[in-house]
A and B are shown apart, each in its own frame.
Chain A
Amino acid sequence: MLTYIARRLLISIPTLIFISLVIFLLLNLAPNDPMAQVPLTVPPEVKQKMREALGLGQPLYIQFLKWLIQLFWIEPQVFIDYMFNTSFSEGKLRVISWQTRSPVMDIIVQRMPQTLWVVGMSYVVGILIAIPIGIYSAYKQYSVFDQVGTFVTMIGYSVPPFFTGVFVIVIFSVQLGWLPSIYDTTHSVVDWETFKIQLKQMVMPVMVLALQTTAMINRFMRATMLDNLNQDYVRTARAKGLSEWTVVMIHVLRNSMIPVITVIALNVPAIFGGAIITEQVFKVNGIGQQLIGAIYANDLPTVQTITFMFAVLIVLFNLLADIIYGILDPRIRYD
C-alpha cells in the first residue's frame, strides 16, 4: 500500500510541473502587453524600467523558474511563518498582484473560505440527496420513481448552472421575494436570527450547485447498483435467507460504493469550475469571482496563481481518488 501511494505521489509531481508550464507559457507567449494600459506620454526608457520591475525583462525560462520558486518555496515559508511566528520569508519576493499590489496568496486566503463553504456545502448536500435516490432507483428499476429520478437527473445534467441560478433568482427573489439574490459574505452568524439569514442566503447557491452534483452521482450510483444487483453473490445472499435490507444495504451497496467514491473525488474539480459561474450569478466573492475580475483587469500574476490553485486541487483530488480506490479494491494496488 505504501509503495502504491508513493508511486502515485511521484507521478503527481511531473503533472503539476507540466500544468504550471502550460499555464505559464499560455500567459507569457500570448501576444498581449501588460504595459498596454500605461499612458503613451510615459517615455520608453521608463516603460522598460517598469517592465524589468515586473520581472518581464528576463528570458522565459528564468521567469518560469522564479515563478516556481515563489510558488513552491517562498509561499510555503510565508505559511510556516504565519503558523509558527517564525521569520523564514522575511524580505523575500512574493507573487504580487498587479491590481492591488498585495501578495496574491493573501487575497486567495481571504477569498477561499467563501468558495469552500458554498462549494463544500453544495457537494455534501448533493451527495446526500443522490445516494439514496440512486439506490432506490436501481432497486425499483423502471418504476415510476426511477423514471422520474432519471428525468430529473437528465435535467440536472443538461441545464447549465447559469440558467438554473438565474431561474431560481427570478422565482424566489424577484417574484416571491423570499430569498436574497446576493450573497452577503460580511454577514456573521451570532444568534438564531442571523443564522436564519445565513441559511436563507445559502439556499440558492448551494442548491444550484447541488443539482449538478446530484445528477452526476445519482447516475453513477444507479448504474453500479444495477450492475451489482444482478451478480451471483446477491442471489447467494438471498438464498442464505438474509433480509432484503441486509442484502441491498450491506452487500450490494458496499460493492457499488467503490466506483461511486472515485467519481465523487474526481468530480470535485468540475464542481469548482461550476462554482466560478455560480459565484458570478450570486455575487459570492470567492476565488472564482476573483479570477474573473483578474481576467478583466489583465492581472496576470493573479490569473496564473488562481488557475494554478485550481490545478493543484484537481491533482490533489485525483491522488485522493487513486488512494481511496487502492484501499477499497486491493486488486488496483498491483497494476
Chain B
Amino acid sequence: MTDNNNITAKPRSKIRDVWDQFKSHKGALLGAIIFFSIVLLVMVGPFVWPFDANQIDIRSRNQGPSLLHPFGTDQLGRDTLARMMAGGRTSIAVGLAAMALSLFFGSFIGVTAGFYKRLDGVLMRFTDLFLSLPLLPLLLVMMLLFREPLSEAYGPERGMFVLIVVSIGITSWMPTARIVRADVLALKEREFVLAAKASGTSDTLIILRHIMPNVLSPIMVSATLGIANGIITESALSFLGLGFPPDFPTWGRLLNDAVDYLQQYPERVFWPGLAISLTVLSINYLGDGLRDALDPRMRKR
C-alpha cells in the first residue's frame, strides 16, 4: 500500500522540500519579506526620493515629521528619510561584505581542519585562541590604529569601509569554522567520499564537488547570522564614534548623532534604532526558519 503511494507520488526536489518547510514557519517568512523589503528600499529609495542625504537646507532645520519630510529633518536641515536610506545602504553593505569575508575564512579553515587530519589540531587550537580574544576591545583598537593610514590610502569613506569589513571579518569566522569542521568530519567517512577517493579524484576536487555542497546548509545559516552580526558591530562602532566619518551616514552614526539631541528631539533616536533592530530581528527569524528548513530531521514528511 505504502509502496504504491511512493511510486505514484510525484518526485520532490530538495529545494521544493526546503521551501515548503520554510513557508510553514510564519515568523521566518515574515522575516524574509521584511528583510528583502528593507534591502529593496535602501537600494532603490535614494534614486526615487527627491532629497539627497547630504543636501543641507539650514532654513528647514529641526523640523518634525511633515508630508515633505516624513521623518523630519536634522540640525542642518538634511532630510532624515534620505539619510536613513543612505545609512541603510552602508550598514547593509558592511553586513553583507563582512559576512562574505567571515564565511570565506570560516569555511576555508573549517573544511581544511575537517578534511586534513594533520592540520586539525593546529587549526582548532588557533580557532580556540581566536575565540578567547576580547573582540569588541580589539575591534576598537583596530579602528584607532588603522583608521588614518587606510583613509589616506583609499579615501576616508572607502578606507573606513575596508577597515570595518576586514576587522569584522577576521573576528567573526570562528563559529562557522567550528560548525563546518564538525560536518566535514562526519562527511569524510561517508561512502561517496570513499568512492571518489578510490576512483582517484584529487583532494581539491573532492572538497569542491562532494564536501562543499553538503556543508552548504550550515554555511547558509551562519551567513544569515553573520549579516546580523556585521550590522550590529558596525553600528556599535559608529555609535562609539569610532566608525565612519561624521558626515557619512550609517544607522549607528545617525543614532549617535541623535543622542546629542536627546533632550530636545527624543524622537530622532527612534528611526535609526528601529531600522537596526527591525533588520536584525528579521534576519534572525530568517536564519531560524532556514535552520529548520535545511535540517532534514525537522522537515515534515
Contact = CB atoms under 8 A, between A and B. Distances in A.
14 contacts: A31-B145, A154-B281, A159-B277, A160-B235, A163-B269, A166-B262, A273-B135, A281-B259, A306-B137, A307-B134, A307-B141, A311-B134, A314-B132, A318-B132
Given A23-B138, A276-B137, A162 B132 contact: no
Contacts of A307: 134, 137-138, 141
B43 interface: no
Nearest to B267: A170
A296 B285 CA distance: 37
A138 interface: no
Given A15-B129, A32-B145, A311-B132, A163 B255 contact: yes
A276 B136 contact: yes
A311 B136 CA distance: 11
A23 to B, nearest CB: 7
A158 B280 contact: yes
B133 A158 contact: no
Nearest to B273: A163
Interface string B122-159: 00000011001111111011111110110000000000
A18 B130 CA distance: 10
Interface string B215-239: 0000000000000100010011001
B296 interface: no
Contact of B255 (A18, A162, A276, A310): A162
A303 interface: yes
B144 A19 contact: no
A175 B236 CA distance: 25
Interface string B230-253: 001001100111100000000010
B269 A167 contact: yes
A121 to B, nearest CB: 20
Contacts of A272: 134
A37 B134 CA distance: 28
A154 B146 contact: no
B141 A303 contact: yes
Contacts of A311: 132-134
Q: Which one of A15, A19, A170, A181 has the highest number of Cβ atoms from chain B below 10 Å of its Cβ?
A: A170
Given A292-B240, A310-B134, A169 B276 contact: no
Interface in A245-274: 269, 272-273
A26 B255 contact: no
A155 interface: yes
Interface in A10-63: 15, 18-19, 22-23, 26-27, 30-32
A162 B146 contact: no
Contact of A30 (B145, B236, B259): B145
Interface in A269-325: 269, 272-273, 276-277, 280-281, 291-292, 295-296, 298, 303, 306-307, 310-311, 313-315, 318
A52 to B, nearest CB: 22
Contacts of A139: none
Contacts of B236: 160, 162, 277
B266 interface: yes
B138 A273 contact: no
B284 interface: yes
B280 A295 contact: no
A4 interface: no
What 4 A-B pairs have minimum CB-CB distances, sorted nearest first?
A310-B134, A30-B145, A163-B273, A158-B281
A159 B140 contact: no
A273 B136 contact: yes
Given A26-B142, A169-B262, A160 B137 contact: no
Interface residues on A, range: 35 or more
Interface in A130-182: 154-155, 157-160, 162-163, 166-167, 169-170, 174-175, 181
Interface of B: 128-129, 132-138, 140-146, 148-149, 228, 232, 235-236, 239-242, 252, 255, 258-259, 262-263, 266, 269-270, 273, 276-277, 280-281, 283-285
Q: Which one of B136, B149, B252, B273 has the highest number of Cβ atoms from chain A below 10 Å of its Cβ?
A: B136
Given A273-B135, A295-B242, A315-B132, A162 B235 contact: yes
A170 B132 contact: no
Contacts of A22: 133, 138
Contacts of B135: 273
A273 B134 contact: yes
A163 B146 contact: no
Nearest to B259: A166
A30 B146 contact: yes
B120 to A, nearest CB: 15
Contact of B263 (A26, A174, A315): A174
A170 B266 contact: yes
A27 B145 contact: yes
B280 A159 contact: yes
B266 A15 contact: no
Contact of B140 (A162, A166, A295): A295
Nearest to A318: B132
Contacts of B133: 19, 22, 311, 314
Contacts of B148: 32
A298 B236 CA distance: 20
A162 B269 CA distance: 10
A60 B206 CA distance: 44
Contacts of B128: 15
B137 A26 contact: no
Given A19-B133, A273-B135, A160 B280 contact: yes
A310 to B, nearest CB: 3
